[in-house]
Amino acid sequence: MRHLTKWVFELDIRFLGSVPPTGEDELRGKVLVGAALAMLAAVALVSAASGSQAREGAGSKRALTSITYSTSFGNFGRDAYAWVALEKGYFRDAGFDVKIVPGAGSVAVAQAIAAGSVDFGPADVAAVALARAESGVTVKVVALIQQNTMAAFLALKSSGITKPTDLAGKTFADTPGSTVAVLLPLYAKRAGFDASSVKFVPSSPQALASLLVAKRVDAVGQFTVGIPTFRAATGQEVVSLPYAKVVPGLVGLGLLASDKMIRERPGDVKKFTAALLKGERWAIDNPGAAGAILNKYVPLQDPKIAADELKIMKKYAQTPDVRARGYGLVDKKRIASTISIVNNFFHPKNPASLSQLYAPGFAPSK
Amino acid sequence: MSDGIAISVDSVSQVFRTRRQSLHALDDIELEVRDGEFVTLVGRSGCGKSTLLRIIAGLLPASAGKVRVHGARVDAPRRDVSLMFQRAALLPWRSVIDNVLLPVEILKLDARVHRARAEELLALAGLEGFEGRKPYELSGGMQQRVALCRALVHDPSVLLMDEPFAALDALTREELSLELQRIWGEHRKTIVFVTHSIQEATLLADRIVVMSPRPGRIARILEVNAPRPRSLGLTARAEELDRISAELHELLFARELQAT
Amino acid sequence: MSAEITIPPGTEERLLGRRAAGAAASILLPTLTIVALVGLWWLATIVFDWKPFLVPSPKDVWNELVAQRHRLPGHVEATLVESLEGFGLAIVLGIPVAVAIAYSRLLESTIYPALIALNAIPKIAIAPLLVIWMGFGSGPKVTMVVLICFFPIVISTATGLKSTPVEFVDLVRSLAASPLQQFVKVRFPAALPFVFVGLKVAISLAVIGAVVGEFVGATKGLGYVIVASGQNANTSLAFAAIVLLSLMSILLFYALVIAERLLVPWAGQDKQ
């Protein structure tokens, strides 16, 4: 070893100094350069091999398709089914290498999918119908994650808000493209108070709990499944005002894909949808374990609270119809009814039609 | 008060200490300048003439020895001692007249009286009509003339000048030397004038203090008895000035050869 | 002073003409560049068939500006006021701190590291906290602006105060001026060119600070408009707000440039 070191350094000094290299030095030089190149090549080969091996998994020979999936809203239990599908290999078996990114509300998810930066993600059907109608966002629903909307206002019990009309004159926070914020005028009209008396402050998902507990806002827009999370985050009792009570008939979140993807890669859409819905089914049936899986990937999330969210979500996602026909079920009449409620109330420039908003064939339908 | 001695420098030495070495800038300087006398300090670079001037001005405390101006010990700048430097240092945000009036403001003197005086001085320096201009509109020579007016506006008894014309071209330099001589003729002050130029020294001085470097010492003091006004033109009687110039030349260059 | 030189006739007209052409060029060239860029943008939206909710065309943005012309001025005013209030406050707070740093070695060695640490905190990270602490009013936005503008103003002013040319220092010292006189008559005016460097950097950041503050919790302002436009994927409106923000930034910057030319006319003059 010492000999080798001395050999290398002698060469170095000779080359750097004013002493002209001898024939022997030239040989040394060539050997060293060759060795270096060989090492580099070896490192490159090894890393390439190990890299692709990580992607393929044991025994699989074909390459996986990269997919980006956005959650509906942050990294909470209500979206845990995506990580379940990842952990249990449903995505991999379907041929996908999926990256999960946190979403920030329905309109943001829809926009990201239309832009192509995200491939799939859940978003509220009513909000997407409005976004498509007003701004031409080119996305379609391929499956329903929840049959009924979970949208709700959440408030601290100590705020004294118990019924919808209590919201008049109050302030609430939510992400700007969220269901609650987008559909507020509809909710207010049906409940019988003035929507313009309510002050809406656009905020980030992470800030909502602290805003509520700091009493900067009276209520936040959320989903009913968020009650356990907010109870834990604020340390107080939380009341909810569900949209479903005031505007019955609204369907819940739908899985979105861009028009382009549906047109060009319907096979991928079908396989991915099936894998995701498989994950949803497993998560609803095994909420505790699903919570643990979420915690594995997102250590900041409490597994028990995540499990509580899934338990609440069960009655929205697993209706008798779903039990009969399968997860992701799209009842055409109900989804059409949701769209027309939105169109009739908001009178957008280009009202969305059912065919613009829903792409059949990727999930069970009725 | 004083016995006709404006400035007395008594055994002044200056040592600059850095981390690695000490520099003997001045070694045991003895000098007396009489009221109204024009003394020039001449020497090669590094002979300590600027250092000596700053000590007399009170800007630098001497390592050893003391300086008195009009009998009073100097340990800080005095109001009756005025300075001029190689750079005119006119404040660019003030007009010419406001620059001249700067000492009046700082010393809180009567503004109206001194404004008239400032205008007089500017006229005397050939800058009538330029009162409202800004310094950057003036040439280098004009700026130094303004600086001279500023140095005189509060009627100091002593004027210390550190190579004030060194940054100017040779012709302007000579012109300003003559200006200075003329103004000094009208407002007689005690002047200590530091210069590199043999020509300036002989033209302006009553006495020339020749300094040698490393360490700074007074090598010789030459008396210049040529009558005033002096000039280098055709009407000048140049013999005395030529003699002094030649002698200075010998002192400055011979000394240098000896030193190496 | 002035020599007798014969100037050929017509020279003065030619010189004036050249100067006018120069002034026209300095306005015309940037305008033409912007027009060209807008044209390229328009072309791209057509060629690549970009949907308006992703990348609106200039026409979409213009339509939105016209459609919202009654509501947008209120938002412009909100952001402008927040930016200017924060900027003014940063000056009022920053200059005394800079003076302290310049005049006291002790304060410099204690304050400086704290300032650098404070400046290293990503402002966007504390923005939500400011909302929690101060609510949805202008408080958090003005605070953000102050936090962003403070550092450049302090640094440049302190540097300016410590960079007084030595001949000026000698001058006032030789006149036995008091420290206050030295500051007011020489040190501070001499530092003004430096101060303006800091001000120009700060004003470019001030609008950004206001917008960041509005992103995390506001009910008015151009930042709020950008966020709220996400509610119905109205990207044209977001672009319209961005255009207005850019104009605001440009105008504020050039207002400072003009102020500098008026207050510090000697900066950049040839020193002779």
Same domain, A127 and A256: yes
Of all residues in chain C, the one with the smallest CA distance to B126 is: C1
* Residue C250 CB coordination number (10 Å): 13
Q: Are residues A182 and A210 in the same domain?
A: yes
For A287-312, give one letter per residue: b (16+ CB within 10 A) or e.
bebbbbbbbeebeebbbebbbbbbbb
C169 touches chain B (CB under 8 A): no
User: Which residue among A182, A203, A206 sits closest to C231, beta carbon to beta carbon?
Assistant: A182
CA-nearest residue to B143 within chain C is C272
- Please indicate whether, in this complex, the C-beta atoms of C233 and A202 are within 8 angstroms of each other: no
| A207 and A73 housed in the same domain | no
What CATH number does the domain containing A210 carry?
3.40.190.10
Q: What are C214-248's pLDDT values in tens digits? A: 998 888 999 999 998 888 788 999 999 999 999 99
Residue A181: inside a domain, yes or no? yes
A290-294, B43-47, B75-79, C118-122: the lowest-pLDDT one? B43-47
Cα torsion angle, B100, B106, B110, B112, sign: positive
Write the DSSP assignment of B26-49 as a string of letters: EEEEEEEEETT-EEEEEE-TTSSH
Q: Which chain C residues are closer than 8 Å to A201 by Cβ?
A: 136, 217-219
* A177–C233 C-beta distance less than 8 A: yes
Task: Tell me whether residue A27 is in a domain.
Answer: no
A88 plus A156 within the same structural domain: no
Shared domain check, A134 and A183: no
- The arithmetic mean of pLDDT across residues B26-35, rounded, is 92
- Complex prediction ipTM: 0.86
Same domain, A85 and A157: no
> Are residues A229 and A158 located together in one domain of the fold?
yes
Residues A197 and A226 in one domain: yes
DSSP strand pairing (A151-156 vs A238-242): antiparallel
DSSP reduced 3-state for A219: strand
A23 in a structural domain = no
Chain A residues within 8 A of C235 when measuring between CB atoms: 135
Residues A143 and A256 occupy one common structural domain: yes
Tell if the CB–CB gap between C218 and A201 is shorter than 8 Å: yes
- Omega before C56 cis (within 30°)? no
Query: Which of C124, C131, C211 should be substituted to probe chain A, the one whose Cβ sees the most A Cβ atoms within 10 Å?
Result: C131
Q: Which of A130, A182, A201 sits opposite C136 (nearest CB)?
A: A201
Report if residue A30 sits inside a domain.
no
pLDDT band at A10 (very low <50, low <70, confident <90, very high): low
Tell whether A17 is covered by a domain: no
- Does C270 contact B105 at a Cβ distance shorter than 8 Å? no
Q: Does C232 touch chain B (CB under 8 A)?
A: no
Nearest CA in chain A to C219: A201
pLDDT of residue A178: 86
Are C and B touching by the rule of 3+ CB pairs within 8 Å?
yes
- Residue A38: pLDDT above 80? no
**A61 and A135, same domain (yes or no):** yes
Measured between beta carbons, the chain C residues lying within 8 angstroms of A171 are 136
Q: Is A173 on the interface with C (CB under 8 A)?
A: yes
Residues 6 or more apart from C152 whose CB is under 8 A from it? C198, C201, C202, C205
CA angle A351, A349, A199 (to 5 degrees): 100
> What is the rounded distance in angstroms from the CA atom of residue A105 to the CA atom of residue C214?
19
Cβ–Cβ gap A114/C54 under 8 Å = yes
Residue type, C151: F
Residue B226 distance to chain C (closest CA, Å): 32
- DSSP letter (8 states) at residue A236: S
Q: Total domain count for chain A?
A: 2
pLDDT attached to residue A28: 60
- Cα-Cα-Cα-Cα dihedral of C145, C150, C151, C154, to 10°? 160
Smallest CA–CA separation between B250 and chain C, in Å? Answer: 34
**Using one digit for the tens of pLDDT, what is the confidence trace for B147-162?**
999 999 999 999 999 9
Query: Is-contact A258 A264, C-beta < 8 A?
Result: no
Interface residue of B51, B82, B91 to substitute, partner C, most C CBs within 10 Å = B91
Whether A294 is in a domain gets the answer yes
Position A308: which residue type?
D
DSSP symbols for B65-118: EEEEETTEEPSS--TTEEEE-SS----TTS-HHHHHTHHHHHTT--HHHHHHHH
Neighbours of B223 (CB within 10 A): 9
**A216 and C132 in contact by Cβ < 8 A?**
yes
pLDDT tens digits for range A301-322? 999 999 999 999 999 999 999 9
The single-letter DSSP state of residue C229 is G
Handedness of CA C168, C171, C173, C176 (dihedral sign): negative
Helix H or strand E encompassing B15? strand B5-17
pLDDT value of residue B146: 95
CA distance C52 to chain A (A): 7
> Of A196, A226, A246, which residue sits at a domain end?
A246
Which tens digits make up the pLDDT trace of C83-113?
999 999 999 999 999 999 999 999 999 998 9
If asked whether residues A165 and A100 sit together in one domain, one would say no
Of A357, A107, A81, A64, which Cα lies nearest the Cα of A221?
A107
Please check the confidence at residue A125 and state whether its pLDDT lies above 80.
Answer: yes
* Residue C188 in contact with partner chain B when CB distance is under 8 A: no
Nearest to C174 among B57, B136, B143 (CB): B57
Q: Which residues of C touch B79 (CB under 8 A)?
A: 175-176
Q: What is the pLDDT of residue A123?
A: 95
CB contact under 8 A, A207 and C232: no
Domain termination residue (choose one: A219, A246, A273): A246
Contacts of C183 in chain B (CB under 8 A): none
pLDDT-derived band at C136, boundaries 50, 70, 90: confident
Pick from A131, A199, A204: which is nearest to C216 by CB?
A204
Q: Specify the DSSP class assigned to residue B216.
A: B
Residue A211 belongs to some domain of the structure: yes
Enter the pTM of the model.
0.78
Give the C-side interface with A, CB within 8 Å: 51-54, 128, 131-132, 135-136, 216-219, 224, 227-235
Facing residue for C171 by CB, picked from B58, B78, B89: B89
Interface mutation vs chain A, best among C71, C232, C234, most A CBs within 10 Å: C232
pLDDT tens digits for range B201-254: 888 999 999 998 888 899 889 998 887 778 777 666 677 888 888 888 888 887
Q: What is the DSSP string of A106-171?
A: HHHHHHHHHHTS-SEEEEEHHHHHHHHHHH---EEEEEES-SS--EEEEEEGGGT--SGGGGTT-E
Whole-number CA gyration radius for chain B: 18
Distance from CA of C104 to the nearest CA of B (A): 21
**Tokens representing residue C109 in the block:** 């060695």
Q: What is the pLDDT of residues A320-336, one digit of tens each?
A: 999 999 999 999 999 99
pLDDT in tens, B185-200: 887 899 999 998 888 8
Does residue A341 share a domain with residue A218? no
pLDDT digits (tens, 9 = 90+) for C173-188: 999 999 999 999 999 9
Residue from B60, B96, B106 to probe the interface with C (highest C Cβ count within 10 Å): B106
Domain final residue pick, A206, A223, A246:
A246
**Domain presence at residue A194:** yes
Give the residue numbers spanning the domain of A259. 42-147+250-357
Note whether A111 contacts C230, CB cutoff 8 Å.
Answer: yes
State yes or no: pLDDT of A14 exceeds 70.
Answer: no
